[in-house]
Structure 1
Amino acid sequence: MPRAGLSRDKIIQAAAQRADEEGFDSLTLAAIARLFDVRLPSLYGHVASVHELKQGVALLALDRLAERTEEAVAGRAGKDALTALAETHRSFSRQHPGLFQASRYPLDAASAQRSGGARLARLNHAMLRGYALGDEDRVHATRLIGSFILGFSLLEQAGSFDHSAPDAERSWRRDIEGLDALLQSWASQKTES
């Protein structure tokens, strides 16, 4: 018997849970229809395509990550803020691997500007003001920090650090220290464009 009260929000929430359990790539409308014990056409009134489903999960993931990061970084500056921001992302990637993957799903420009991703970018830029970086350098530094967090998290999830010393936790701490040192000296490292 089909479940009563099917809604877009319930569908996105169920898809988010499935993404964490089975992987973001496992999301299909057919799989979600089976979760709700409904026929596929029953979903179309709420979610028109797998792209729309994945976009909904991506927006949910970005909102959750932004909320956690805002809370973690609030009242902090410099290395403390950098560490809180990085730790929040790493923790999110461990606790919600499917949502972490979803947070990288391509969004159209309008959705991206309204998403938690835009809040994360603003938060990152604000955190970097503590390092006395200019506007353009904050963009470069934001990209560097994002690349570090994403790369480290993906390699860690894949078990790439499991076979050598020092352990990943020690490398993570050392890498945060290195990022902090780099950001502190960034202005003196100007290069010719």
Structure 2
Amino acid sequence: MDARTPLTAESLTATAAGLADELGLDQVTVSEVARRVGVKPASVYFHLRGTDDLRGRVSTLALAELADRLGLALAGRADRDALGALVDTIRTYANEHPGRWEATQVRITAPDAEAPGGRVAALMLAVVRGYDLPEAELTHAVRLIGSTINGFVRLHVNGGFDRSEPDPEASWLRMTQALDSALTHWPTDEDTTR
């Protein structure tokens, strides 16, 4: 942080978000952020309640950034095109901001996260609604998409695809096609009781 940048909850959150991307969310602490901005931890505590508050603010920031990106990427798209934009946008964000992405994937108590988290969920629901699923199935479909993306991203980041062919990009394309197929041919109540 520049010496002329005022110390605020927002500036400390930005520093923490950068730290999360650089070293991982588990390294985001009041002490480390204080060291990064060149102040004593007591100065950080003047603006924040502690490490949990700081990590929660990173989660809120990440969800807001992701919601903004998704809103732009999904505008004017529908069906498979919207699904592709959704999964590609989320994956790109996760690759560019691994620590922030991690903050969106863990249970963090952050009262302000509800609004941007709700925006992300609403955008995902809008994509799923394009497949004309019954209302009772929408949450299941959103969970399928989120779990699939998160699993792929985590495996890729952790080197799970490093020693195998084909290239992960080909697998990503297949995964997107498989999600589209699953949403297009969603099981009925009869299918799930067998």
Shorter-chain TM-score above 0.5 = yes
What does 1:1-193 align with in structure 2 at a 5 Å threshold? Answer: 3=3, 5-108=6-109, 110-114=111-115, 116-186=116-186, 188=188, 190-192=191-193
SS at match of 1:103: helix
The CA distance in 1 between the partners of 2:179 and 2:13, in whole Å, is 36
User: C-alpha deviations, 1:155-189, integer Å up to 9, x for none?
Assistant: 01011111111111001101111110111111557
Consecutive unaligned residues of structure 2, counting only runs of 5 or more, are none
- The one-letter code matched in structure 2 to 1:147 is S
Query: SS in structure 2 opposite 1:6?
Result: coil
Deviations 1:36-88 (A, max 9, x none): 11111111110111000000001001110111111111110111000100001
Alpha-carbon distance, 1:191 to partner: 2.2
Tell me how far apart the structure 2 counterparts of residues 28 and 171 of structure 1 sit (CA, whole Å).
36
Q: How many residues align?
A: 191
The percentage of aligned residue pairs carrying the same residue is 40
Runs of 4+ more than 3 Å apart = 107-112, 187-190
Letter in 1 for 2:25: F
d(CA) in 2 for partners of 1:82, 1:133? 14
* Alignment RMSD (CA, Å): 1.8
Rounded Cα–Cα distance in structure 1 between residues aligned with 2:22 and 2:111: 29
Q: TM-score, normalising length from structure 1?
A: 0.93
TM-score by length of 2: 0.92
